[in-house]
Amino acid sequence: MKRKLNFLVLMILILLILFMSQVIHKLDKLTVIQDSDKIQETSDNTKNRESSSQSDISDTGRINSEKRQKENTVETADSISANQDNNSSETPPAISHNSNDITDKSSQETVTVFKTKEALRKIPAGSVIKVKELGDNLMDNCFYSEIIKADIKERILGKSYKEDCTVPFEELRYLRVLYYGFDKKTHIGELIVNKAIASDIVSIFIELYESKYPIERMVLVDEYDADDNASMAANNTSSFNYRAVPGSTHLSRHALGLAIDINPLYNPYIQYTDKGNIILPEEGSKYADRTLDCPYYINEDDLCYKAFTRRGFTWGGFWETEPDFQHFQKSL
């Protein structure tokens, strides 16, 4: 009996061991499957992240490309704008010429975008400018005197500054001013005067401009090849010209840069002689009659007369035998 019992217990243990073995095997198999699923899931997640990353990179590249394209477009627009600005800052074309008048009365109007004295200096004398765009820089940049620089020397050598000229360049000054034209517009004017009167002349033209005193033209006499008669006939206001007094061998005050002629066509030089009167310029002969009602006459009540005489200048209109109504000069 005892043997049977032992045998039964042994069989139960064996069956239990077999059962447990199968259970463990199934559990191991299940674990392997789960691990495989996890590995697959991890792999899929990795692939998804890589795909997402590549997509992000692609999107980033596209965005950056579009950004660069937009920046290039802006840069190109800016470049075009800059080029347009540069083109607008180029020196305006020279004033048209005609037989007697190198600064045509219909001078091309210049839209001024220049803010510096150097830039304004590139605009030819006689040009019309719009002073509102200059603002507070108006006086400093448009009314001044300077030494005779190389470009001015080149213009006057052999003309107003003749080979036998005894006046050193150091004694002369180049002036830039504004004047109120007969056309009621603002023009750039230029003169060469003796350095001793440069400051006075600048001050006078500031006063005349602010009062809108009409002046028709103001360029160097060299634009007329230093021909004084041609310059006067064009009603050109000018100063320095190394020449003699008409009809004599004596140097004029113009030769020293100490005299200036204002609106000479309407204020001619008259020389009374036994053979008749000599009037220069000839084109101004009818204006020798000073009783005419002419707004451009210089007389004792005239603002121009007062501005010059207040600063010690002498007016040629008082000379009895050779009145020179256009002429103001100063003795040192």
Q: In this structure, what token pair is assigned to residue 215?
A: 């002046």
Q: How far apart are CA 79 and CA 139, in angstroms?
A: 33
Q: What is the pLDDT along the chain (332 residues), one digit of tens a residue?
A: 556 666 676 777 777 777 676 656 555 554 544 454 444 544 454 444 444 444 443 444 444 444 444 344 333 333 333 333 343 333 333 333 334 444 444 444 444 445 688 888 899 999 999 888 777 778 889 999 999 999 999 999 999 999 999 999 999 999 999 999 999 999 999 999 999 999 999 999 999 999 999 999 999 999 999 999 999 999 999 999 999 988 788 999 999 999 999 999 999 999 998 888 999 999 999 999 999 999 999 999 999 999 999 999 999 999 999 999 999 999 98
Q: How far apart are CA 169 and CA 161, in angstroms?
A: 9
Residue 113 three-state SS:
coil
Question: pTM for the whole thing?
Answer: 0.68
pLDDT digits (tens, 9 = 90+) for 271-307: 998 888 999 999 999 999 999 999 999 999 999 999 9
Strand partners, 178: 188
Residue 21 three-state SS:
helix
115 CB-near residues (< 8 Å, 6+ apart): 134, 137, 141
Q: How far apart are CA 5 and CA 10, in angstroms?
A: 9
Q: How far apart are CA 202 and CA 187, in angstroms?
A: 15
Which of 322, 206, 204, 325 shows the shortest CA–CA distance to 266? 325
Which of 242, 85, 267 shows the shortest CA–CA distance to 172? 242
- Helix, strand, coil distribution of the chain in percent, nearest 5: 45, 15, 35
